[in-house]
Structure 1
Amino acid sequence: MRERTTIVRESADGDATAEAQPAEIPSRSLTSRVTALLGSRAVRVVFVLATVALGGYAVADQWPQVRSGFADFGVGALLGSFAFVLLSLVATMQVWRSLLAAAGSRVPVAPAARIFFVGQIGKYLPGAVWPVLAQMELGQAQRIPRRRSATVAVVTMLVSLAAGLLTAAVAAVAGLTGSATGGYGWAFLATPVLLVGLHPRVLNPMIDRLLRLARRPPQEVPLTGRAIVVATLWAILYWVLNGAAVWLLATRLGAADGRTFLLATGGFAFAWCAGFLVVLAPAGAGVREVVLVASLSPVLSVGKATAVALASRLLTTVGDLLSAGLAAWVGRRRGHDHD
């Protein structure tokens, strides 16, 4: 009689089931090993420490250049800009949360904030995959299938990118063309591709095809056109709020031209999109500042536009870290209350 051993095999929904197999069959597939590694507590702790360290380094690295300009901005403008940044983070969480609900997982605000904001700090690592992996693992606490988490995370990025490019295109009428794009005007070429790709008749078959390639079953609830539109509206609000944050700083430095709000909003959106498409730049570092400075050049000198761009980066980084920290703290408190 051949000796048999029990192995753990991942089900389609990401759940683990035990079944007996002959001893000569490997005890775990490569996929199961990778999933177990990513889901381990040690890896989660290292992930959080690494991303917080990189985010903190970004703040420290920018601080000497921004400190001299803070006196010109004033406390009121900085606090007002930071308030817009925090509101924009809520809006971008709603992009993800609305798509997740449309895909079949309705998550209350508090746990949704923990999954989204803690996962989002992964963007400070090179590559766009880390927030996706983090949300896949954090979503397990809310019984969100990994394949659904991954699908929604990717669609959220595509919706945000499409909405950002559309917002920047509207701002083009205010002078956001040519040199004002910082040499990254080619990013606009992605707009028609994204708009076509987000149509449900294209998006859902594409998602199901990718799931089949990953040997996973198709979506239980295909995304509808209404879900994409709602998510896009939330994404546009995100860009407008961030534009308001930049506009407030720019006007404090003397940008009184009527085009400033459009330039700030479209410039920030386009800067983020360009930074996202340059995948080797963690959180678009460097790329975003170059584009935002170029976008503000019609209304500010290079020196003042640079101060605004660096202050914007600092405030958004602090906002990311603060929102992740608060969401994790609230989640821990709620967990203790239920014990």
Structure 2
Amino acid sequence: RPLPLLAASALTVLTWFLLVRTWSRSLRWWGDSLPFGAAIRIWFITNLSRFVPGAIWQFAHVSAEALSARISPVAATGAILFQQVVLLGTGIALTVSLAPVLPMSVTGTTNPVLALGLTSLGVLAAIILLPVAAPTLERWTTRLLKRDIKWPTPTRREMSAYVGTLVLPWIAYGVAFWLFGLALLGDAAPSVLPAAAVFIGSYVAGIIAVFAPGGLGVREAAMVILLSPITGPAPALLLAIASRLWLVALEILTALGVLAWHPRTVSSSE
């Protein structure tokens, strides 16, 4: 089914652009700025580095590209790391809130009201505590990555808008995965809410598994475990592997398109 595949691909690319826009706009918290075209180039080129073993390489690549764009490497890497932490938090929150739509054999007896309450509590805690914890997080991440990392201290209103914005990519990813499932499995595909819950939960597992480049293997294993009670083991394995190949191919094609459109990094003064 080509139409769901095209829709899934378009939605995924638009979601990446939203993430780039959010990252580039957040640079103001570090007193820096970057044109959207240059931000897109840096984002897509350096994002491929996450498949290299060792979490530090992506940040090293970001630093090098930031210098070429004449912005602070500390700002560029700090903004990406901050976004990843908030994305992880919103991803966990959505995974918990969507757990009741998954089979009980996977999640046990999950109370929907309790799940929603825990999610709301987690999001509220992130809005309040992340700016407060900035100094501690700076010290920890600087030691971990062996480079200077500065964490921002946005106002509560700015933080609320930022966290709210970073809920949207997960929803879009979930819908895109559902569309991809329709394209691949047709009527045997999971419905939209279970598909979204499976994708978000498995993606979060891949982020947490820092030892796996790009969550490779971990995300697929989690996806098979969560999907098997819904589709059966064979379709779950097929969907897990095919979705990884699809996303990697889509990311490479998008990066090549970005390079063709924006072949060099421009300075923020241009």
TM-score range for the pair, normalised by the shorter chain length:
0.7 to 0.9
Alignment TM-score, normalising by the size of structure 2: 0.79
1:212/1:138 CA distance change after superposition, 3 Å = closer
Higher normalized helix content (fraction of residues): 2
Share of identical aligned residues, percent? 26
RMSD over aligned CA atoms reads: 3.2
Partner SS, residue 263 of structure 2:
helix
* Structure 2 partner of 1:97: 24
Number of aligned pairs? 251
Displacement of 1:231 in angstroms is 3.0
* Structure 2 partner of 1:231: 162
* Structure 1 partner of 2:8: 81
Displacement of 1:216 in angstroms is 6.2
Assess if the C-alpha contact under 8 Å between 1:94 and 1:234 holds in 2.
no
The answer to whether residue 175 in structure 2 is matched with residue 244 in structure 1 is yes
**Counterpart-to-counterpart distance in 1, 2:249 and 2:14:** 13
Q: Structure 1 segments of 4 or more deviating over 6 A?
A: 211-219
**Counterpart-to-counterpart distance in 2, 1:296 and 1:97:** 35
**Counterpart-to-counterpart distance in 1, 2:256 and 2:188:** 34
**Counterpart-to-counterpart distance in 2, 1:284 and 1:290:** 10
Task: Give the aligned residue type for 1:76.
Answer: L
**Counterpart-to-counterpart distance in 2, 1:290 and 1:234:** 28
* Structure 1 partner of 2:134: 204
1:42-101 per-position Cα deviation (integer Å, ceiling 9, x unaligned): xxxxxxxxxxxxxxxxxxxxxxxxxxxxxxxx2222222212221221122233223223
Partner SS, residue 37 of structure 2:
helix
1:215/1:149 CA distance change after superposition, 3 Å = closer
1:161/1:298 CA distance change after superposition, 3 Å = same
Displacement of 1:158 in angstroms is 0.3
Task: Give the aligned residue type for 1:232.
Answer: V
If asked which structure has higher relative contact order (CA below 8 Å, sep 6+), I would say 2
Partner SS, residue 262 of structure 2:
helix
Unaligned runs of 5+ in 1: 1-73, 182-187
Q: How do residues 120-159 of structure 1 correspond to structure 2 at under 5 angstroms?
A: 120-159=47-86
Displacement of 1:297 in angstroms is 2.9
Q: How do residues 143-182 of structure 1 correspond to structure 2 at under 5 angstroms?
A: 143-175=70-102, 179=106
1:218/1:310 CA distance change after superposition, 3 Å = closer
Task: Give the aligned residue type for 1:300.
Answer: T
Displacement of 1:193 in angstroms is 11
**Counterpart-to-counterpart distance in 2, 1:313 and 1:124:** 12
* Structure 2 partner of 1:113: 40
Displacement of 1:287 in angstroms is 1.0
1:100/1:177 CA distance change after superposition, 3 Å = farther
1:314/1:133 CA distance change after superposition, 3 Å = same
Alignment TM-score, normalising by the size of structure 1: 0.64
Displacement of 1:283 in angstroms is 0.8
Partner SS, residue 32 of structure 2:
coil
